[in-house]
Structure 1
Amino acid sequence: MAASNVILCGICDTQHVSKVANYWCPECDEGLCSPCKKYHSVSKASRQHGIISIDDYNKLPAEICKIEQNCTEHDKKFQMFCPGHDKLCCIICISENHKECTGMFLIDEVIKSSRSSTLFDSLEKSLKDIQENVEMVVKDRKANLDEIKQHHSKSLNDIKDTRRKVNSRLDELEKNIIDDLNSTETQLKLKIETLLDKLFTKMTTLELLKTNLMSVKQHGSDLQAFIGSKMLEKDVTKALKCIQNLSEDDGFSQIGLKCQIDDKITDILTDITAFGSITIEKSKSPIVIGVGHEKQAQIFTAVPPRSKSIDDITASLINEFKLPLGQSRKCITGSSVFPDGMMIFADCHLNKKLIILQSDGTLDTEILLSPLSPFDVTCIDNKTVAVTICNNTIQIIDTKTKQVAKTINTGAGLGITYRQEQIIYCEKGKGIVGIQLSNYKICTLVEDCTIQNDYSYIATSGDNIYFTDNGSAVKCYSLKGEKLWEFKDESIFSCPTGIAVDQYGIAYAISNRNNSVVLISADGKNGKTLLTANDKIRVSYGIYFHINKLYVASYSGNLLKFDIA
């Protein structure tokens, strides 16, 4: 190790003694020699610190080593993690900027599960998928180069063979056609080779990301693993987007050469003015870019290691809004909440419109859809929604321009939700269907022919799908199509409509026949009534859970906002 890279023992250094450190304490942010490490490990203040060897410390990426252990603004130790702002907070941060935030977790609880969280697995899976896609594209592009060579060789033979059948006047025309052919081939090769150069550069970047990821996972402290994984997540997301955008590169197209010899070449002395023509044959590449864990590595939810019992959950009404009056009475059949906290509602049968409210309940805008009847709605981002229409279609709508961006024909089914670039809905007699927004490809996620209700509502949480069905049941499936549980209890639960799910996997389902909201445990084994008619619950369809707040929209247009604790 070079002298400039030698790390000294911090404790000895404060005593004006220079001693090489053998260990590193991330929480103290200093090196320790062997004797000092011994005392450090038994001291009450530091015995729980995660010490690593200097060799392991030196293996960490430079940006991970620079992670601050304390709040840089207030020079206080981080104590809480705010999932709403995705930020670590010291005690002063909490008092100044996070007084109204809910769902905050103790940082000690969060970092305990960070190394074993699914984020590392997701990052590794995404990196592997990206590499496989790059290798697949490289192989395909090389095959296309060979094909172009073969086309070139055949075309050249055709040209020369024809040339030998005519007189010397073809010399000039032969030169023109060959120059055109060679120029076109060079142009095509340049496009593909340019793409290949980009791909080889991307592969180098991916290898570095993999190395950094493994170093953080194996050698970083818990906090470094937590924050470092989020830093690496941005690089993985960028690489993922780059791979997904490959199809837009001109060099990704399936390119071919075609040489057409004119049938009237023998009439060249009188009629023909060119030897032939060179054209580029372009078709869609047979390679389909697909990442199995698409976008999953972009989302990290800081969930505490403990689950939550439905017996511990309480709800208190904090706001009540009345949706603005229309020309006719309200028929609210669907609702959702934008990431920024604004709310949207589907006013179905009479007014046939979407209603958007500010977070304080004031009207923002209305989008008329008449003569179409919107049934359910889900937010994709802060300005885009997907809406199920009662004529078996789904419309993608830009709420800022009020324009329909895409109309998708579907089977019978009206409940809808959005998850990671995919629209998911129930289809009567078929099961759970997903629509990938990148290419609008439709695929069946869950086969369940017992779904006989057009009005089944649906929600997702983590890798699970939840939906109401069969008049008195809630079902839960994994994304792999495995049925996890089915909940029925007609004593408290009948005629279910809307459903929402919190971060613990606990379902909140409307029981319309009882005018109530029922809680269902994460394992589907237990249920209890959370809200009743005494809490102003009436006939309702729209329900949504957003950052520890539960929204219930009645059919008549009364919106209740509950704080969930």
Structure 2
Amino acid sequence: MAASNVILCGICDAQHTSHVADYWCPECDEGLCSTCKNHHGVSKASRQHGIISIDDYKKLPAEICKIEQNCTEHDKKFQMFCPRHDQLCCIMCVSENHKECTGMFLIDEAIKSSRTSTLFDSLEKSLKDIQENIERVVKDREANLVEIKQQHLKSLHNIKDTRQKLNSRLDDLEKHMIDNLNSTETQLKLKIVTLLNKLSEKKNEIEILKTNLMSVKQHGSDLQAFIGSKMLEKDVAEELKYVKNISKDDGFSQFGLKCQIDDKIIDILSNIIRFGSIKIEKSKSPIVIGVGHEKQAQFFTAVQPRSKSIDDITASLIGEFSVLAGKSSSCITGLSVFPDGRMIFADCYYNNRLVIVHNDGTLDCEIPLSPLLPFDVTCIDDKTVAVTTLFQHKVVIVDTENRQVTNAIKTGRCRGITYRQGQLFYCAIEKGIHAINVSNNKVRTIVEDYTIKTDWSYITTSGENIFYTGYGSTVKCYSIRGEKRWEYKDTSILSCAWGITVDQHGIVYVILNRDVVLISADGKKNRTLLTGENGIQESYGIYLHTNKLYVVSFTGQFLQFKMA
């Protein structure tokens, strides 16, 4: 294409006149005005040329416009195509360089059907695949950024919490040391003061003896002086004996106080050179890219970690506490965990509240939601949660810092809820699985499932999959695009499936009244992991956080198990 936006008619220009071109002939590689276009269309040499408007020509990519119509080496028109060399050829090219090539065909035959060929469909499909892959990579990387932010907040909390514990422990040790110092000083002072008091009494006694001695000596008769001196001699002897033995008194010792700091404390000051370390954990991305002509509808698929059997999983109780009681009996129907490790409980029916606690069970805050009845809860970020309501037919968004409802989304009857990459997935009674776009509150149907009839349907996600408990003893797995993976039903094991969570291996944990049941990643096997003998009571809330399993009973008894 010419550098200027104005393209002149090539025929007129050859005749030294200037007319703006209205059309373009790709084969002649020049513009045509309206008059020359008519001549061009009736000329025997060019009547078969496919001309286009100049406006359409300007819309073509620059690389396409630069395509040569003639062979640059022989200055002859391209007539053949060589599949072996993927090259356009003129007659001279064929005779000189492609004598041994097979499968060559005329370009004129091929270009007639080029617009309707499968190549365009294949290219369009490939471009669509590429675009979808890029979009998924963008979403995955954005999710990774969110995850890094969450890990940053969690690490920051861990650092500050450790520092606080260190300060608290050092304060306790310091107080104990100072108390011991004060007590020791008091003991030593008491011993010395006791001796000083005795000596003070002795001084008084000596003064009396001195006075008596002088009185007898100066004023007594000879007989009195004789007998008196003998009497005083005994008293002086007693005092001499006391002075000689005074060194044996405990208060006579030379006392001193010495403060000896424990070597482990000194190690903190001298040997410990850092508080900890920050490391980058790098692993293979949980998605794979799929594009190519040999496959249909290529998408990212979740890459599962190395498979693990449900028979290899063990759980050991490492902690328990009771959720702080409300005004009435607790009815805990939902559980979720913030990025910093705090837990949030939905206390339905009587207390109408959310309860946030630290990982040791101490209370962070309570958020009253009356008259709403919070059924299930999921964390969106470190301060925002989404809550389904039992009878109000809506999902509410709650700012836990301000303890205020910031948004309400009408949904119909909804129960279990979970958050994934900007979307809220929830169980819609007698409708199926729906998703809410958090950015615009738009609701769409993911899975149509009219068998969801129970008030105790819960949901979770892992990778590209959705898992939920349905009617009776059913557990179902769908992709996030609504494609059914598997369905598991066993009335002998799952008489009524309630809370649900899933680990990194795709193994599903379902809570059943007083049991926690495992279902294999392919939905074909089950195993009872925990029972009432392990402390499991009637429970609905279950959650996997790192390598720990959390279970909270309906009455608020919280159990923490270490998974291995």
TM normalised by structure 2 equals 0.48
Asked which structure has the greater CA Rg, the reply is: 2
